[in-house]
Amino acid sequence: MARAKVVAFVALMGALGNALFVLSQSVFTIGQVALDLSHVATFISAIFGGPLLGGVVGVLVGLGTGLYFGFIGGSLGLLGLIGLPVGKALTGVTAGFLSRALSNNASPSSRRTFLVVLVSYVPECIFMVFFFLVLVPTFLSPDVAAFLVPLLTPILAKAWIEIAFMAFLMGALAGNKGFVDFVRGFLA
């Protein structure tokens, strides 16, 4: 029974993350900039379920992003479908490890969760630099690379703003006993 609840939780978080991504592309958009909150599901999974659940949900959340920027609204193709989920999984795994290392089996605190969320994006950020500066020019046409590589700086700036927002949100959720009990009910 416990395994079924964890699978249901992972599916729920994957769906939540992709729904938040779709909403970001249609509702949370100002001009050309969309506020992508899809990592909220990754952070919930990682902080409460650990690195494995964080990584799995990160991949699931990244599939929507990879499909969109790979084939629907972008030109990354298969590289996006593979690379973007890897980046999101890095964040999930890192958040899970950091949360476990800093928790000492205690409930997550607001401040600790805020810091975990901020720091856990660093590996994905480094991966995105590698993705845009190495993988894009290597695997995509020179015309596509010439268009995409200059987008790295604004993409990362926007991403850090989103991560800071999600750090505050996750800190608030970690401090909410009702939310913590609800999530732990799935993972107990």
The whole-angstrom separation of Cα 24 and Cα 127 is: 22
SS3 29: strand
Looking at the 3D structure of the chain, how many domains does it have?
Answer: 1
The whole-angstrom separation of Cα 93 and Cα 102 is: 14
In eight-state DSSP terms, residue 36 is -
Q: Which tens digit of pLDDT belongs to each residue from 45-87?
A: 999 999 999 999 999 999 999 999 999 988 899 999 999 999 9
Q: Are 76 and 83 in contact (CB under 8 A)?
A: yes
Q: Are 21 and 65 in contact (CB under 8 A)?
A: yes
Supply the Cα-derived Rg of the chain in whole angstroms.
Answer: 16
Q: Which domain holds residue 130?
A: 2-187
Q: What is the pLDDT confidence band of residue 10, given thresholds at 50, 70 and 90?
A: very high
Q: Which tens digit of pLDDT belongs to each residue from 158-184?
A: 999 999 999 999 999 999 999 999 999
SS3 33: strand
Listed in sequence order, the residues at least 6 apart from 179 whose beta carbon sits closer than 8 Å to its beta carbon are 173
Q: Which tens digit of pLDDT belongs to each residue from 123-155?
A: 999 999 999 999 999 999 999 999 999 999 999
Residue 35's CATH number = 1.10.1760.20
Q: 65: burial class by Cβ within 10 Å (0-12, 13-18, 19+)?
A: buried
Residue 76: the pLDDT is: 94
Q: Which tens digit of pLDDT belongs to each residue from 100-116?
A: 999 876 777 899 999 99
Q: How far is CA 169 from CA 37, 54, 165, 166, 173, in A?
A: 10, 17, 6, 5, 6
SS3 32: coil
Residue 32: the pLDDT is: 60
SS3 1: coil
Closest Cα partner for 20 from 56, 44, 46, 52? 44
SS3 2: helix
Q: What is the mean pLDDT of residues 93-103?
A: 95
Residue type, 117: V
Note the Cα 90 to chain centre separation in Å.
Answer: 8
In eight-state DSSP terms, residue 92 is H
